[in-house]
Amino acid sequence: MRIGELAGEARVSVETVRYYQRRDLLDIPERPYGENRIYVSEHLDRLRFIKRAQALGFSLSEVESLLSLSASSCAEAEQLANRKLILVNEKLADLSRIQSVLERAVAGCRSTQPYEGCPIIESLIDPKA
């Protein structure tokens, strides 16, 4: 398949394919003289791997590390995944705190009189509000 077909199958742009090639995440197939490069199913599998890893929150640098591991390097992959899981849990805790602050601010708006200040604006000015 040609690069456009590969990109379409993987649901990415041609520029994304080229970017991954520049980052050495995806091999560039040989180009026969006077012809187009031909991409094979392994290229598509690699693109799908990259996109699935990104969907799980892995950066391209982390994806590169995962790609460098062989299937038998489960311990190293587990370490990477555990570090990512810790970060995800920290982000979830942060989001929960943000949610609580916003819920209080929105609830405060409902009980505010027109001549009083806006609790949302006040909470942004004074974090203790």
* 54-72 per-position pLDDT tens digit: 999 999 999 998 888 866 6
The pLDDT of residue 4? 96
Mean per-residue pLDDT, 68-83 = 83
For 65, half-sphere exposure in the C-beta direction (CA atoms, 13 angstrom radius) is 14
Mean per-residue pLDDT, 99-127 = 78
Mean per-residue pLDDT, 64-81 = 84
Predicted TM-score (pTM) above 0.95 = no
The pLDDT of residue 18? 97
The pLDDT of residue 75? 86
Whole-angstrom distance, CA of residue 93 vs CA of residue 114: 34
Mean per-residue pLDDT, 93-97 = 95
Whole-angstrom distance, CA of residue 62 vs CA of residue 96: 26
Q: Per-residue pLDDT for 97 more than 80?
A: yes
Query: What's 11's DSSP letter?
Result: T
- Range with the poorest average pLDDT among 2-11, 32-41, 46-55, 98-107: 98-107
6 φ, ψ (degrees, to nearest 5): -60, -50
